[in-house]
Amino acid sequence: MQLSGIRVVEIGQAFAGPFASEILAHLGADVIKIERPGSGDEARRWGPPFWGEDAAVFHAINSNKRSVALDLKDPTDVATCRSLIADADVLVHNLRPGALNRLGLGPDTLASEFPRLIYAEISAYGPKGPLKDLPGYEILGQAFGGVMSITGEADRAPVRCGPSVCDFGSGMWLAIGVLAAIQERHRTGKGGLVQTSLFETALAWTAVAASSYLASGNEPGRNGASHHLISPYGYFETETGPLMLACASDALFRKLAEVLDRPDWPDDDRFRDNPARVRNKALIEGMVGDLLKRKPQEYWFDVLGKAGVPCAPVNTISEALDHAQTEALGMVQAAPDNPEIRGLGLPLSFNGKRPEQHTGAPPVGSSEASWS
């Protein structure tokens, strides 16, 4: 495994911190999750549905870990936690800002004691600025970072993006930062501080809308399933169900026109290139939509795909999970110690092999407070 021999202590709650350490665990790191005695991580109760005693969402991001129950209000347990950190390569946490500092486990203190330690933390708003001490959750990151303002239909209220893009994105960024810090430590022999936040992640995900605003001064709006920079691009009804169409170039538009038996479109000044089509977006997408309604979704997915025009049906979660493509990729994995518990594997392969799940999510305090 890529990270075999790397030890990680996670003091995490909810999604962001635990997801970061799960990425590292799937890559082979030995991860000890520090939890409150009894109740453990708050996400254990985020259900129904449940698998056994714990919520399904907890199982989704806590596999391949060990759990040690420590009361961080107890000085003896704090000392035990410190001893685990002393022998670790990485500390991952997403507790409220300042919480670990008050326990003597802040980055400056631990850096002086354990100079090879990589201290990796996720906060709500970042380590600097007037909001640095505020707590936060996914929906607040989406709201404050602008994601919600560009999600939803133009004539309706902003909505939360379905996936927890700020939590999981922050976990991903932190894991990337940890991997870079491990490489840097190989060169210098020293650890360091890796930081990200839900707010910074939200801002990063708005890069396309942000660049449009910075260039034009115009406030980006909500476009539903469409795109304000490309046409035809978005949601179209067919005879039997919705289809997403993505003509992101003039060459793809010409192919679409051929399939729809409208070879005249590319020579029409209103549709000659993408800027022209964006200016006449309602017109061209209405014309495309009228033609797509005449035949079934399955037909268009087949003929457009064969013509090289990117498109896809709008699948439900069950349809996506049950699809033969998902099965071929081996994305759905079962916990070897409890095959009834299934989840998604890491969306990453090495030499054609996806990292495996070795254990399911651990019960609270199921491991000894040691690395043995």
Dig out the tokens for 365 from the structure: 């305090």
**Which domain CATH number covers 295?**
3.30.1540.10
The answer to whether residues 88 and 147 belong to one domain is yes
CA-to-CA separations, 117 to 2, 19, 202, in angstroms, rounded: 19, 20, 28
What does the pLDDT profile of the chain (372 residues) look like in tens digits?
Answer: 799 999 999 999 999 999 999 999 999 999 999 999 998 999 999 989 998 889 999 999 999 999 999 999 999 999 999 999 999 999 999 999 899 999 999 999 999 999 999 999 999 999 999 999 999 999 999 999 999 999 999 889 999 999 999 999 999 999 999 999 999 999 999 999 999 999 999 999 999 999 999 999 999 999 888 888 899 999 999 999 999 999 999 999 999 999 999 999 999 999 999 999 999 999 999 999 999 999 999 999 999 999 999 999 999 999 999 999 999 999 999 888 788 889 899 899 999 999 988 888 899 988 888 887
Closest CA to 18 of 57, 49, 71, 74: 57
Strand partners, 243: 236, 313
Q: How far apart are CA 260 and CA 250, in angstroms?
A: 15
Active site residues: 227
Q: What pTM does this model have? A: 0.91
Strand partners, 67: 33
Burial class (CB in 10 A: 0-12, 13-18, 19+), 254: middle
Q: How far apart are CA 209 and CA 324, in angstroms?
A: 35
**Which domain CATH number covers 109?**
3.40.50.10540
Q: How far apart are CA 370 and CA 208, in angstroms?
A: 46
* Residue 301 domain-assigned (yes or no): yes
Domain that holds residue 157: 7-205+330-344
* Residue 325 domain-assigned (yes or no): no
The answer to whether residues 74 and 121 belong to one domain is yes
The answer to whether residues 93 and 161 belong to one domain is yes
* Residue 372 domain-assigned (yes or no): no
The answer to whether residues 309 and 340 belong to one domain is no
* Residue 183 domain-assigned (yes or no): yes
* Residue 211 domain-assigned (yes or no): no
The answer to whether residues 248 and 176 belong to one domain is no
Residue type, 110: L
For the chain, how many structural domains are there in total? 2
